[in-house]
Structure 1
Amino acid sequence: MAGNPERRSALVDAGVEVLAREGARGLTFRAVDAEAGVPVGTASNYFADRDALLRQIDTRLHIRLAPDPDKFAELLTRPKDRSLVVGFMHDLMARATRDRTGYLALLEMRLEATRRPELRASFTRSVRADLEKGIRFHREAGLPGGDETVTVLYLAMLGLLLEHLTLPEALEGVLPGVGVPQGLVERIVKTVVPET
């Protein structure tokens, strides 16, 4: 396999773009080469097969969608109450909205993992690791609620992000009367996270 890390990174990011736009069936080495603007056959020099590319995309997405440490440090200066959890959830929404392509690719990875047992195993491990990291963070930060609170909050926000990123202009039409995403974030947190 070729060893140029910048080229590999560019190919993985091109794979993210193709996956978000075309879905898993459209994720071919040829499509990745075209998206990256490199000669045909380049991606096949960097990845043994499609599964290797998908695993690299999974890793890259978790990096792209990760919180900004400076933003988290700033948020942690606030009182450790429900309003701080709202701040973290708004940050999550902002990151997913800013990198809509990355988040849509992550959703495509979820769908592809339902069809490919080998991908399902590695993707499940990475999602579980993220959830465990979130639970540890919640505990160590002294935020209200326990592990179950974090798990339910994760599931509720996943649903909101799915609706917001796949049907953004129709959110009010799909969920009439529930409010815009920012208002929904606050309602989710108020419902899930206990008062301190």
Structure 2
Amino acid sequence: MVRNSERRIQLADAAVRVLARQGSRGLTHRAIDTEADVPRGTASNYFATRDEIVEAILARIGERLTPDPDVHAGLARRPPGRELFAAYLRDIVHRLTGDPDATLALFELRLEAARRPAVAATVAQWQRAGLDADVAFNTRAGLPGGRWEIILFHYALDGLILDQLTVPIDERVAADEAVDVLVNRLLPPDPS
């Protein structure tokens, strides 16, 4: 069988959907084949092991949740400060809630990482690279806050996103409003 990048993306997207909708136990080569509507055995031709499936899922999630360059170009023209920081966070929340399959699959991988050391190593490496990139971006953009603030925002946004995609603690709280309150409480006021 000829392996091609389009088919690999199709299978990775199917794996994301399976993981998001069926959880870790439902993630099998056969389930991926069925979800992708391809002949039986196709997924195993592209991903020989479950670890390869996990790596493909993480790579695809990263691609699907990548910021829109036009949105970021518009934000980059604004002056640095708490409001800009909040705007970047709102963009993150919109991307994560806008692709619930990718986000739920990521949460599922994190849960599986608690049970499987190989998954934990892969997910930890992916998360740490993301955190380092976020800290570097924040520094380059001249935004307030350092590494610790970025870590705290990751913790807070993880909870907010989980809440938005599952069962909200308080359905009256809008995600954008929660981000604004969080930024105003965690970051020092902009210098006047």
TM-score class, shorter: over 0.9
Unaligned runs of 5+ in 2: none
- Match among 165, 171, 187 for residue 181 of structure 2: 187
Taking the aligned partners of 1:74 and 1:10, their CA distance within structure 2 comes to 31
Partner of 2:72: 72
3-state DSSP class of the match of 1:115? coil
Partner of 1:82: 82
Deviation, 1:171, is 3.6
Deviations 1:96-127 (A, max 9, x none): 11101110011001011111111111110110
Instruction: Work out whether 1:35 is the aligned partner of 2:29.
Output: no
Taking the aligned partners of 2:42 and 2:48, their CA distance within structure 1 comes to 12
TM-score normalised by length of structure 2:
0.94
Pairing of 1:97-112 with structure 2 (within 5 A): 97-112=97-112
Taking the aligned partners of 2:183 and 2:2, their CA distance within structure 1 comes to 46
Q: Once the two structures are aligned, what percentage of the paired residues are identical?
A: 44
| 4+ residue runs over 3 A deviation | none
Taking the aligned partners of 1:84 and 1:31, their CA distance within structure 2 comes to 42
Partner of 1:92: 92
Unaligned runs of 5+ in 1: none
Is 1:2–1:46's contact at 8 Å kept on the other side of the alignment? Answer: no
Deviations 1:68-101 (A, max 9, x none): 1221111011110100011011101110111011
CA RMSD, aligned part only?
1.4
How many aligned positions are there? 190
Is 1:172–1:180's contact at 8 Å kept on the other side of the alignment? Answer: no
Instruction: Work out whether 1:147 is the aligned partner of 2:147.
Output: yes
Q: Read off the aligned partner of 1:192 and give its amino acid letter.
A: L
